[in-house]
């Protein structure tokens, strides 16, 4: 069993839809990161969470430390949100362990 | 302000050769991380440097090594290249040792192809 599990693996949405990507992990962590990777390969850090909830524009990330679960929400999705979204947990010793990613496609 | 920069963008080598990849962190960042993204394997943690010291490494053989210079830039060296070393190598930087306070900033990556 992978230390970080993401669901769904693939997601197709219509423009404007509310999107949720889930992440569960099985190890003790110091922080959880949500990352966005575009086809060229570059990665952008969206959020770093150690508790609670954060919001940037149309993106919201939550984490429940007790349940070892995090969610990334996208409100009013847009085709430019199409990318791979990766959940990664920072284990003690600053080792980042990555989920397999969720491929999101938003159709107009 | 410049972001994390990596060079070269692309590198082609043959089996048995050595590859050297370079990373310049964001100004003021002391921690540099290296990750490998091989086809079908996802992203994996390779190395973490801070203040010139190797602080942690992932499950990679010793032929993967690196160093961090006094200006905090870093090199990743891969010796005795194997075909399965073909991957995108990503560098990230953050400020400070505290994992839960330092946001990560990624470079665009160096794509290594081993023939």
- Please check whether residue B11 is in contact with residue B28, taking contact to mean a CB–CB distance below 8 angstroms: no
Nearest to B33 among A48, A96, A97 (CB): A96
Asked whether the predicted pLDDT for residue A25 surpasses 70, the reply is yes
Taking CB atoms and an 8 Å limit, are A101 and B103 in contact across chains? no
Which of B100, B102, B105, B110 best probes binding to A when mutated, by most A CB atoms within 10 angstroms? B100
Give per-residue pLDDT as tens, B84-107.
999 999 999 998 655 555 688 999
CA Rg, chain A, in Å? 13
The answer to whether A98 faces chain B, any CB pair under 8 Å, is yes
Q: Which residues of chain B have pLDDT under 70?
A: 1, 96-102
Residue B1: what pLDDT? 66
Q: How many helices (H) and strands (E) does chain A have?
A: 0, 11
Nearest to A48 among B103, B107, B111 (CB): B103
**In chain A, what residues touch B108 (CB-CB under 8 Å)?**
40-42
A80: three-class secondary structure by DSSP: helix
């Amino acid at each position: 069993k992978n230390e970080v599990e993401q669901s769904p693996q693939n997601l197709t949405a219509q423009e404007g839809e509310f999107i949720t990507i889930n992440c569960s992990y099985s190890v003790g962590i110091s922080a959880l990161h949500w990352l966005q990777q575009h086809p060229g390969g570059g990665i952008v850090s969206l959020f770093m969470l150690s508790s609670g909830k954060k919001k940037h524009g149309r993106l919201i990330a939550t984490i429940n430390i007790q349940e070892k679960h995090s969610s990334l929400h996208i409100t009013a999705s847009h085709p430019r949100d199409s990318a791979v979204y990766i959940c990664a947990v920072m284990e003690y010793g600053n080792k980042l362990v990555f989920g397999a990613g969720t491929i999101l496609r938003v159709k107009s | 302000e410049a972001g994390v920069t990596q060079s070269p963008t692309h590198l082609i080598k043959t089996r048995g050769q050595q590859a050297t990849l370079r990373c310049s962190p964001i100004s003021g960042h002391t921690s540099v991380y290296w990750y490998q993204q091989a086809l079908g394997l996802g992203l994996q943690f390779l190395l973490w440097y801070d203040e010139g010291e190797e602080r942690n490494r992932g499950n990679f053989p010793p032929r993967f090594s690196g160093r961090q210079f006094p200006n905090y830039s870093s090199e990743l060296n891969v010796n005795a290249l194997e075909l399965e070393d073909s991957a995108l190598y990503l560098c990230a930087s953050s400020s400070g040792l505290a994992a839960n306070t330092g946001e990560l900033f990624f470079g665009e990556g160096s794509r290594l192809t081993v023939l």
